[in-house]
Amino acid sequence: MTRQDDSFRIGYTITPPLPDDAEGGTVLPVFEAEDDLGNEYSDWGGAYGTSDDGSHTSGTLTAQPALPEGARSVAIRVTFLRGGEEYSYEVALDVPPAAPQRAKRVSPGP
């Protein structure tokens, strides 16, 4: 899990790989999340693709808004939709600490 200023992102790997479009239609991942404080997060898109050797699918999913400082864990549900069928997976992830804020450089006035 990676924190962003306005969102957070998870990375995933699936073995064997997800089927490609030619094998029966597009796979659409749907991302749902709720932190341990009760905040819910909206799916903000993602991307995935099959590895060069064809052994697995790697991808990322993004949700927003950003995680608050007090959140310690996030319950995540990813549902893959394809051809009228759905397959859901659930996992709880620890929230990584926020990156330290960089000090802003102030230019001296004239």
In a domain, 84, yes or no: yes
For 95-110, how does the pLDDT look when each residue is reduced to its tens digit (9 = 90+)?
998 876 665 566 665 6
Q: What angle do CA 69, 70, 76 make, to 5 degrees?
A: 95
Q: In this predicted structure, what is the pLDDT of residue 61?
A: 96
Segments forming the whole domain that contains residue 64: 2-94
Kindly report the pTM of this predicted structure.
0.79
Q: In the chain, count H helices and then E strands.
A: 0, 7
Q: What's the total number of domains in the chain? A: 1
62 CB-near residues (< 8 Å, 6+ apart): 4, 7, 8, 9, 31, 43, 44, 45, 46
Torsion sign across C-alpha atoms 90, 92, 96, 98: positive
Among candidate residues 18, 82, 25, the one with its CA nearest the CA of residue 56: 18
| Local confidence pLDDT in tens for the 110 residues of the chain | 999 999 999 999 999 998 877 766 788 899 999 999 999 999 999 999 999 999 999 999 999 999 999 999 999 999 999 888 899 999 999 999 887 666 556 666 56
In a domain, 38, yes or no: yes
Q: In this predicted structure, what is the pLDDT of residue 58?
A: 94
Cβ atoms of 41 and 80 within 8 Å: the answer is no
**CATH, residue 21:** 2.60.40.1640
Give exposure, 43-57, as e/b (b: 16+ Cβ within 10 Å): bbebebebeeeeeeb
